[in-house]
Structure 1
Amino acid sequence: MQLNNNVTEFILLGLTQDPFRKKIVFVTFLLFYLGTLLGNLLIITTIKTSRALGSPMYFFLFHLSLSDTCFSTSIAPRTIVDALLKKTTISFSECIIQVFSLQFFGCLEIFILILMAVDRYVAICKPLHYMTIMSRRICSVLVAVAWVGSCVHSLVQIFLALRLPFCGPNEIDHYFCDLEPLLKLACTDTYVTNLLLVSNSGAICTVSFIMLMFSYIIILHSLRNHSAEGRRKALSTCISHIVVVILFFVPCIFIYTRPATTFPMDKMIAVFYTIGTPLLNPLIYTLRNAEVKNAMRKLWSKKLVSDDQFYS
């Protein structure tokens, strides 16, 4: 992996070099990461243990929470530890692994959001055929395709990174490894690689966002034929999905559609979609979803009853 490179490790400059601000970074990332773990693991546990949440929408929500947890874990723990150190280094191999994890779970989240939009479209626009089209077997196949597709996407990104020669300097002006800051350190012309990156990550983000927004416009337009109660319930679900889509895609499109140029605000925008969105997703889905909240209450009630029986 390192045969053509003089660089065996990189120095991560992080979000700041100021000791006081690094403490703020430590506290912020720690609280956000713990909140992400608590919220998403709660959703995962609730969906797995509740019979009331057996519909395809919650099957996809389970995988969304799983991808959120893994996505945040690929970045946040190391950033938390690095905030306590004066000099933060990451080996070439660890950097490549982080690029793979970031791209894999980020792409997986995109595909899962698309599947959730498809599920809502079929449920609202084709209600009589819903159970046939979105059967358990079909949903499992779709999720498997999403996992495989994400892996292929990440392998392409890794292939692009491994083709680049690095001979110094080795300072990455970021708090995690990603292709865009790595391109700036390569000892070769990266114009073609930049184009490939835009056509890969940038195109996936942009095209998926346009598809998702167009699909939700169709769904919202079709609600005019539903009853008032049906419109209210469907509108609540769709709005929560649209909020998640906007919060995740807008920062990603800003970052990955122009990798040849960087702005001072890039790192702060990256903070938003790497630790902010994974925390907001479970809050959005639980606060706006009565079925999930009821299932969580039942799960908590069962735990209290079992604890009382244990101590009695």
Structure 2
Amino acid sequence: MAEVATFAMSDQLLVVIDPIARRTDGESVRIAKDVLSAGAVTKVCLPEGPDEFARALAKRGSRRPVVVGDDGALLRTVALLHRQRQLAECALSVVPVGGALSLAGSLGVPTGAVAAARAVLDGVERRLDLLVDDSDGVVLGGLRIPPIRDPAAPDGATAVGPGGRPWLRTCQSLVRTLVPPRGPSPAASPGPSRLRVEVDGATLVDLDQPVEAVSVTPGIAGLAEVEVRPVSVGAEASPLRAEGRTVTVSGAHFRYRADTAVSGPVRRRTWTVGEGALRLVLPGR
């Protein structure tokens, strides 16, 4: 994580206030606006939805963007700038307001409105690594692949996706009706996953080793930190760890939680480290 620049209080700011922040904590929004307006030339935008939010960012010109909102607003902003291929050109500031602020806090952003607004005015730009997947998704804090079972699948039945077989659902329902239950089904709880995890092309774990969880987080110097927890048999199995620039997970259909959102199911996904791709303004030391 490298310091790049400090900012003058005379900078022009584009302050984009997320509608959820306005509804959930109007007082913190007002405080942030007052602090920012007292220290810089500001243009305030109050988008009512995602489309207006995206247009406000796209028309920012030379103004430095400041997002006032929760973790969802931060993630949406980074994703928009990434898709527009403008993330590398933009020093982003965040004033966390709302319910979910843990991601912003983990990146070093103060979670109090006054402290965060002051960091916007006199903080320093630092470059942080992030992850980009092969579907152009962006991960800031990290991702996790747990053994997820579809909660809509009743009585341990295998989940059927949108392209599944309706007749199979009917047969399963008929069997459950005719056969009396014999206690809790072991499939009601998530089971181990069988996945192949490759780091920079080298296999860390293969399909023959069931795993309890896989986690990938952006590290430092362009490397992702990977941890795989194998299913323990008898004595507790030690986690498998590796670092690399690309991480590929494949196997049976799996879901994954990237930051705050659950995605999938997919059969294969590759994440690549974007070294220093996020230019985030944080408090100076």
Structure with the bigger RCO (C-alpha within 8 Å, sep 6+) is 1
Q: Provide the TM-score with structure 1 as the length reference.
A: 0.26
Greater fraction of residues in strand: 2
Q: Provide the TM-score with structure 2 as the length reference.
A: 0.27
* Bigger Rg, structure 1 or 2: 2
Greater fraction of residues in helix: 1
